[in-house]
Amino acid sequence: MTEHSMNATAMERKLTMTLDGQPVGFSEGETIYQVAQRAQKNVPTLCYDERLEAFGACRLCVVEVEGVKAPVASCTTKVTPGMIVRSGSPTIEKYRKTLLELVVSENREVDVNPLRGFASQELTTLVDRYGARTGRFKGKKSGTSNKSDDNPFILRDYDLCISCYRCVRVCAEQEGDYAISMMNRGFSTQITTEFNGRLKDSDCTFCGQCVQTCPTGALADKKALRAADLPGEVTKTRTICPYCGVGCSVDLLTKGDRLVGVQPAMDGPANGGALCIKGQFAFDFVQHEDRLKKPLLRQADGSFKETDWDTALDIAAAGFRRALEQHGRRSIYGIASGRAPHEAAYSMQKFIRAGFGTHYIDNCSRA
Ligand code: SF4
Ligand code: SF4
Ligand code: FES
């Protein structure tokens, strides 16, 4: 250990605060929320996404800090040595319930289909935790849905928007796209594109990250929602997107034997919850009716005729043998599709390398 790192460790050791009566260590720059998370305190949040700069919009994460008159937002307040914090006193819990009652009073509905997006259940879960379906503040609704936006991927159902700006921030900070922003103020606040146009006329790349971080389902995955009425529960299966070499972790959503949607893995080491349009939305090929299920043999006139696997494989083997004998091993080149399973890509390279002794292989996922 170097002298510098020893000093740093010694300094870190000295940084302590008191959280709910217990001494807790912290590192320079940490927020109360981060320390509370580490201490397994169940501080609720709505506008927080750990991948983004804290924003302090929803005030649900408020805590009491000794010596400070009003509750403070824990997600934006840095811890200082000796700070004394209460993360869930009855008074704070009462504030949070009232806040939630106010939030849901403006929304058309609270219970939304989980197929809408990864975080779509966050508001519902908190409302249930706090028993905030009281209807005490029932009245005017805020947000104007833009359901006629004729893009094929994203439902813009802003009646359910709570102005947490997670969508705007993920678009700017994660995707670097700045395709959406907010317009107006107060009750009239609305998420919008430039000049309030259609998403497909904006800079949107349809990466879907705004959909997956939205805590209310105001932004929703239109393709996954097509399966809302299919029978059965949604099952999630973790895998790696095959489309390119980045290796983004995804959860495939299935109902029975149908692939109905894709969600990014928020803990994916390569992507941290990000995807591109292909990984997010281009999965229809898996069950497409035009997909080849039998081998086709090209005829002399250029047309194709169905055949059986033995015949097709014999013809292919004869073609390979002829190329090898007449032009040598370097005349053979194998290429696999990013839409084929990983196992098929592995088998292809093994076949070409071991079978013909050449490294001439490729996969469109490399691009
Ligand atoms: S889909 Fe991606 S690029 Fe489009 S608005 Fe959402 S985050 Fe921005
Ligand atoms: S659309 Fe969703 S993510 Fe965006 S501000 Fe509204 S509630 Fe938040
Ligand atoms: S989570 Fe802290 S203000 Fe919203």
Shared domain check, 272 and 142: yes
- CA–CA separation, 266 vs 220, rounded Å? 17
Domain boundary among 264, 287, 310: 287
Ligand 2 atom 6: residue of nearest CA: 161
Q: Is the CB of 274 under 6 A from ligand 1?
A: no
Taking the CA of residue 162 as reference, the ligand 2 atom at the shortest distance is 7
Domain boundary among 287, 319, 350: 287
Name the residue with tokens 């959503």.
Answer: 253
- Which residue segment(s) compose the domain that 147 sits in? 101-287
Ligand 3 pocket test, pick from 41, 46, 95 with the greatest ligand atom count within 8 Å of Cβ, gives 46
The count of structural domains within the chain is 3
Q: How far is the CA of 163 from the centre of ligand 2 (A)?
A: 5
Sheet holding 234-240, edge to edge: 234-240, 249-255, 258-264
Ligand 2 atom 4: residue of nearest CA: 167
SS3 content of the chain, % helix, strand, coil (to 5): 35, 20, 50
Name the residue with tokens 């399966």.
Answer: 227
| Count of beta carbons in the 10 Å neighbourhood of residue 182 | 14
DSSP secondary structure string for all residues of 94-139:
HHHHHHHHHHHHTSS-S---GGG-TTTTHHHHHHHHHT----TT--
CATH number of the domain that residue 197 is part of: 3.30.70.20
Q: Is the CB of 61 under 6 A from ligand 2?
A: no
Q: How far is the CA of 23 from the centre of ligand 2 (A)?
A: 36
Taking the CA of residue 62 as reference, the ligand 3 atom at the shortest distance is 2
Shared domain check, 329 and 254: no
Domain boundary among 256, 287, 318: 287
Q: Which residues of 244-259 are buried (b: 16+ CB within 10 A; e: fewer)?
A: beeebbbbbbbbeeee
Q: Cα–Cα distances in Å, from 2 out to 8, 11, 27?
A: 10, 14, 19
Task: Kindly identify the ligand whose nearest atom is closest to the C-alpha of 280.
Answer: 1
Ligand 1 atom 7: residue of nearest CA: 171
Structure tokens at 203: 């800079």
Cβ atoms of 23 and 6 closer than 8 Å = no
Residue 334 lies in a domain: yes
Q: Is the CB of 59 under 6 A from ligand 3?
A: yes
Shared domain check, 351 and 274: no
DSSP secondary structure string for all residues of 294-337:
S-EEE-TTS-EEE--HHHHHHHHHHHHHHHHHHH-GGG--EEE-
- CA–CA separation, 54 vs 227, rounded Å? 34
Residue 94 lies in a domain: no
Nearest to 244 by CA among 345, 143, 122: 345
Ligand 1 pocket test, pick from 51, 207, 211, 262 with the greatest ligand atom count within 8 Å of Cβ, gives 207
Q: How far is the CA of 28 from the centre of ligand 1 (A)?
A: 33
Shared domain check, 114 and 44: no
Task: Kindly identify the ligand whose nearest atom is closest to the C-alpha of 119.
Answer: 2
- CA–CA separation, 18 vs 39, rounded Å? 11
Taking the CA of residue 59 as reference, the ligand 3 atom at the shortest distance is 3
What does each of the 367 residues of the chain score in pLDDT, given as a tens digit?
555 554 555 454 579 999 999 999 999 999 999 999 999 999 999 999 999 999 999 999 999 999 999 999 999 999 999 999 999 999 999 999 999 999 999 999 999 999 999 999 999 999 999 999 999 999 999 999 999 999 999 999 999 999 999 999 999 999 999 999 999 998 899 999 999 999 999 999 999 999 999 999 999 999 999 999 999 999 999 999 989 889 999 999 999 999 999 999 999 999 999 999 999 999 999 999 999 899 999 999 999 999 999 999 999 999 999 999 999 999 999 999 988 888 899 999 999 999 999 999 998 887 6
DSSP secondary structure string for all residues of 242-270:
-SSTT--EEEEEEETTEEEEEEE-TT-TT
Shared domain check, 117 and 17: no
Ligand 2 atom 2: residue of nearest CA: 214
Name the residue with tokens 């305190």.
Answer: 41
Ligand 3 atom 3: residue of nearest CA: 56
Residues comprising the chain, all counted: 367
Shared domain check, 275 and 186: yes
| Count of beta carbons in the 10 Å neighbourhood of residue 12 | 13
Shared domain check, 163 and 66: no
- CA–CA separation, 138 vs 241, rounded Å? 44
Give residue 10's pLDDT: 46
